[in-house]
């Protein structure tokens, strides 16, 4: 059988998907091995810190992706454009609700305490970035804060409900509703 050689970046992306689907506790090493095709040897070569290091790197990877594709545009680009861009990016990223938010999953059980800093950082930056964009688009500061928080809440909630009902239309519908409520 042909050996497949991975780079670390590939490994992180593959492992991320397993954590996303199964949660931290549900993602056992054997399931990670089985779903990624990476043997234990490879996994511990890439992540000498073991399972906790895998999850930490995966969180950092997700945060980096959002920083580049969502947070920075909101912070720096033309605000209405960045907000419109966010709806599309988010819809693609969560595959219209079929995939879910790894950070959200980690928030709900005791995994939160293991990665408290990374989890808090992700959400606070998202809310702050969106608030700034709204302010620059002409919204009053306090209202912008409330609105930004409400958007993140509804995205997370829509992911929960989408998955609970096996119904992708929930997420798409929520995105459309939010887009209509915010400055365009």
Which residues of this protein are in contact with its own copies, per CB under 8 A?
21-26, 100, 103-105, 107-112, 116, 119-120, 122-124, 146, 149-150, 152-161, 163-166, 170, 173-174, 177
Q: Answer with the entry of its own copies, DNA, none that 154 interacts with (C-beta below 5 to 8 A by kind).
A: its own copies
Core vs surface per residue 98-116: b (16+ CB within 10 A) or e: ebbbbbbbbbeeebeebbe
Structure tokens at 77: 């680009």
For residue 125 the two structure tokens come to 């930056």
4 lies in the binding site for DNA (CB under 7 A) = yes
- Does 3 sit near DNA (CB under 7 A)? yes
Q: What is the distance between the alpha carbons of residues 151 and 43, in angstroms, rounded to a whole number?
A: 37
CB under 8 Å to 27, separation ≥6 — which residues?
Answer: 18, 19, 21, 51
d(CA 143, CA 126) in angstroms, rounded, equals 16
Geometric angle at alpha carbon 163, from 29 and 181, rounded to 5° = 130
| Selected range binding DNA among 45-53, 120-128, 155-163, 173-181, rule: CB under 7 A | 45-53
Which of the choices DNA, its own copies, none does residue 3 contact, using the CB cut-off of 5 to 8 A by kind?
DNA
- The binding track of 19-38 with respect to DNA, each residue x by CB under 7 A or -, is --------xxxxx------x
Contact 16, 99 (CB under 8 A): no
- Residues 46 to 65 in contact with DNA, rule: CB under 7 A: 46, 48, 50-52
Binding partner of 50, given its own copies, DNA, none, CB within 5-8 angstroms per partner class: DNA
Q: Residues in the site for DNA, rule: CB under 7 A?
A: 3-6, 11, 27-31, 38-42, 44-46, 48, 50-52
């Amino acid at each position: 059988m042909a050996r497949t050689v991975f780079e670390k970046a590939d490994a992180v992306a593959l492992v991320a998907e397993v954590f996303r689907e199964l949660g931290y506790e549900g993602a056992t090493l054997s399931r990670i091995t089985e779903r990624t095709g990476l043997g234990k040897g490879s996994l511990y070569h890439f992540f000498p810190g073991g399972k906790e290091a895998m999850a930490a790197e995966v969180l950092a990877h997700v945060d980096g992706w959002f920083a580049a594709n969502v947070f920075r545009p909101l912070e720096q680009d033309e605000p209405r454009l960045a907000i419109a861009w966010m709806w599309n990016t988010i819809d693609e990223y969560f595959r219209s609700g079929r995939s879910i938010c790894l950070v959200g999953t980690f928030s709900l059980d005791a995994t939160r305490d293991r990665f408290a800093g990374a989890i808090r950082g992700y959400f606070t930056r998202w809310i702050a970035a969106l608030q700034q964009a709204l302010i620059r688009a002409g919204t009053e500061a306090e209202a912008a804060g409330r609105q930004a928080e409400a958007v993140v809440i509804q995205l997370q909630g829509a992911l929960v409900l989408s998955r609970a009902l096996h119904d992708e239309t929930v997420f798409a519908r929520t995105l459309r509703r939010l887009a209509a409520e915010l400055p365009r």
